[in-house]
Structure 1
Amino acid sequence: MAFTRATGKHRRPSRMTRRSANIAGIATLAGAGVVGTLSSPAFAAAEPVAATVEDTGLNAIVVADTLAEQIDAQAQAQQQAADAAAAKAKAEAEAKKRAEEAKRKAEAKAKAEREAKERAAREAERKRLNTFVSPIAGSYVSTAYQAGGAAWSSGSHTGIDFHAASGTSVRAVGMGTVVEAGWGGAYGNNVVVKMNDGTYTQYGHLSSLSVAVGQSVTPGQQIGLAGSTGNSTGPHLHFEARTSPEYGSDIDPIGYLRAHGVNL
């Protein structure tokens, strides 16, 4: 003889057992089409109290499912926010990197351009300093080198004369240092410059001086004004080229200037 578990007042069915039974019963009724038709007063009287979570377990399942969906949705939202923040941070980092690279290139370009300009300026200055000019701009030779006559104590002209009105600007023909500036006897007011190549140039009969001994001069720099001081018959510039500062070491001034690129 088989024994069954006691029920009734001696042992109440467990909660899980009742919930399972209720779910199974509801499923059976639904399958038989009964749930949808149970609206008669007799059924209402037989079931006066609505099913609770403890009675059926359906509400608990629905609540649990809803809570799980909310947790999943929240987790997804948090993940999306984290992904968006990471993407934004990455984009900002890349933008910053591109900006820094562009800045570096711009600075490198500006530096290269600046250095190129500085090199060009230095080269232009080097050329200028190595360039020779005529002692009087736009003038011409009025008396040739070694011209003879009683006007010169040596019997010949030791330099060349440039036509110039009194007060005309007289320029250093090249870069050098002033070794004499003042009265020069027959030369009147004169300036002697030791050139950078070791030669000397002399400028005589000046009405006034613009430089002093020891001063450096550059090509085209004014050293005085033309005049008619000393042994002179009228305003002009007497120009000499020498191998030393001493009288008698003169060389052909026209050949000297032409050798340095000055056409007369």
Structure 2
Amino acid sequence: MAFARPTGKHRAPNRLTRRTATFAGAAALATTGVVGSLAAPAMAAEAAAPAVDTTGLAQTIVIGDSLAVHIDAQAAAQKHEAATAKAAAEAKAKAEARAAEARAKAAAKAKQEREAKERAARDAERKRLNTYVAPISDSYVSTPYQASSGLWSSGSHTGIDFHAASGTSVHAVGSGTVVEAGWGGAYGNNIVIKMNDGLYTQYGHLSSLGVSVGDTVTPGQQIGLSGATGNATGPHLHFEARTTAEYGSDIDPVAYLRSHNVNV
């Protein structure tokens, strides 16, 4: 329904009418894209009134911006924490890898050193077992090999005599196995050893025996004590080198010992 104003004297438009017109003009300008100017200051004042209604929107925008900044900061902090944790994990993994590598190297070095020591010990033992010594320490030959005398049934000395007081330690000259230990007639208490080189050594006139048949001996091992048992004129050690365990297979004992680097 349309309302018409009465004819005649026109009344001034009231405030509501003016505001409606102003809004309508503004809407029209917005619709057409044409920007106009307000002719009357009153209209400009009236048009400025809606700015009060926009305060809530401005506050909403400010709060939204602040929240976005907070979210961005939180995301950046979380990203930084994740990067820090990743870097720490990588550093820890590298440290553990280096430690494992160091342990492996140390174990390998220790193994090499242990094996080297074991080889050295084996070599030393092999050398020791292949070493020969004099049957009496710090002594000398008092009667040489093949010396002539009626004291011996063969007419000559079948070994050499080492000067020694009764009870002096008698040593195996090298490694071997005892094949005789006991009374040997004219030799008195005697020991015969089959040496590892295939020859035999004999020790006579002992006051006591320290080994038995079947025993293995090593260089320098005490096998008995010197004496004057059997056919002897006084305490000493009678030493022979033989090709067999039997009497009569003697060879030069000095040459035998010297072939094994024993200085007599």
Cα displacement string for residues 152-175 of structure 1 (whole angstroms, at most 9, x for unaligned residues): 011111000000011110000011
Q: State the Cα RMSD in Å.
A: 2.4
Normalized against structure 2, the TM-score is what?
0.80
* Mapped pair 1:66 → 2:66: yes
* 1:204-215 matched pairs, under 5 angstroms: 204-215=204-215
Percent of aligned positions with the same letter in both sequences?
69
Q: Which residue of 2 aligns with 1:102?
A: 102
Structure 1 residue 55 displacement after superposition: 4.5
Alignment of 1:1-264 (within 5 A): 55-264=55-264
Deviations 1:105-127 (A, max 9, x none): 11111111111111111111111
Task: After TM superposition, give the deviation of residue 51 of structure 1 in Å.
Answer: 5.2
Equivalent residue number for residue 38 of structure 2:
none
Deviation (angstroms), 1:226: 0.5
1:165-215 per-residue CA deviation (whole Å, 9 max, x = no partner) reads: 111100000110000001111100000000011100000000101101000
- The alpha carbon displacement at 1:56 in A equals 4.3
SS in 2 for 1:146: coil
In structure 1, what is the Cα distance between the partners aligned to 2:257 and 2:219?
12
Equivalent residue number for residue 26 of structure 1 = none
- The amino acid of 2:257's aligned partner reads L
Change (3 A) 1:225 1:84: same
State the AA in 2 paired with 1:201.
T
Instruction: Tell me how far apart the structure 2 counterparts of residues 194 and 56 of structure 1 sit (CA, whole Å).
Output: 119
Counterpart residue identity of residue 222, structure 2: Q
Deviation at 1:88, TM superposition (A): 0.2
Matched residue SS, 1:77: helix
Alpha-carbon distance in 2 for matches of 1:51, 1:140: 133
Aligned residue number for residue 4 of structure 1: none
Question: 1 CA distance for matches of 2:97 and 2:55?
Answer: 65
CA distance in 1, matches of 2:64, 2:260: 105
**SS at structure 1 position matched to 2:73:** helix
1:75-107 residue CA offsets vs partner (Å, 9 max, x unmatched): 000000000000000000000000011111111
Under a length normalisation based on structure 1, what TM-score does the superposition of the two structures give? 0.80
Aligned counterpart, 1:27: none
Give distance in 1, aligned partners of 2:160 and 2:55: 135
Give the superposition deviation at 1:260: 1.0
Partner of residue 37, structure 1: none
The amino acid that maps onto 1:147 is A
What residue is the counterpart of 2:4 in the other structure?
none
SS in 2 for 1:57: helix
Residue aligned with 1:245, SS = coil
Ranges in structure 2 where 5+ consecutive residues have no aligned partner: 1-15, 28-44
Larger Rg: 2
Cα pair distance change 1:51/1:213, threshold 3 Å: farther
Whole-angstrom CA distance in 2 between matches of 1:55 and 1:160: 132
Runs of 4+ in 1 over 4 A off after TM superposition: 7-10
Matches of 2:247 and 2:190, distance apart in 1 = 13
* 1:190 aligned counterpart, secondary structure: strand
